[in-house]
Amino acid sequence: MLFLQLITCFSFMQICTADETKLKVKAASKPVRLFTDEELRNYDGTEEGQPIYMAIKGVVFDVTSGKKFYGKGAAYNALVGKDSTRAVAKMSLDPKDLTHDVAGLTEKELESLESVFTGTYKSKYPIVGYTSRRILNEDGSPNEDFKPEDQPNFSVRAEL
């Protein structure tokens, strides 16, 4: 009986300390990356076979699975290939709202933004990266308030 307990304990320790590659465990997702506005425009749903990305609050989501909503000619195609934070907050497709800028939004619009960001996008679509604006200031200097460990889907192991 003691021998069986020792074997079980040893096996459990091996599993807990094993490297992911030894266990052949596939990573949960691809490492995230940083997108400039120009790079993000390449994922606007116009090219067949290309993923469709959109950003909200500086977080880039792969919305390809919602192609019937976001693909070329679809109802919400105007939102993709850019950071559409303001448009999502205002529930607007007006070209002037297709921006990351949240200045002047009402409390109700900001609450709506958070609700849609968390309840729809974070729960439904994979995060593939962040906009450079989220990490860098306008002058290109690092945003001191950005903390990678506080970001959704961030894993030091996945980033290295």
Domain boundaries defined on the chain: 29-143+151-159
Q: How far apart, in whole angstroms, are the C-alpha atoms of residue 77 and residue 72?
A: 6
Fold of the domain built from segment(s) 29-143+151-159: Flavocytochrome B2; Chain A, domain 1 (3.10.120)
Q: Are 98 and 85 in contact (CB under 8 A)?
A: no
| pTM (predicted TM-score) | 0.71
Q: How far apart, in whole angstroms, are the C-alpha atoms of residue 68 and residue 65?
A: 8
Residue 110, pLDDT above cutoff 60: yes
Per-residue pLDDT at 137 = 72
Segments in 48-155 forming alpha helices (H):
67-70, 85-90, 107-116, 123-124, 132-135
* Mean pLDDT calculated for residue range 2-28: 40
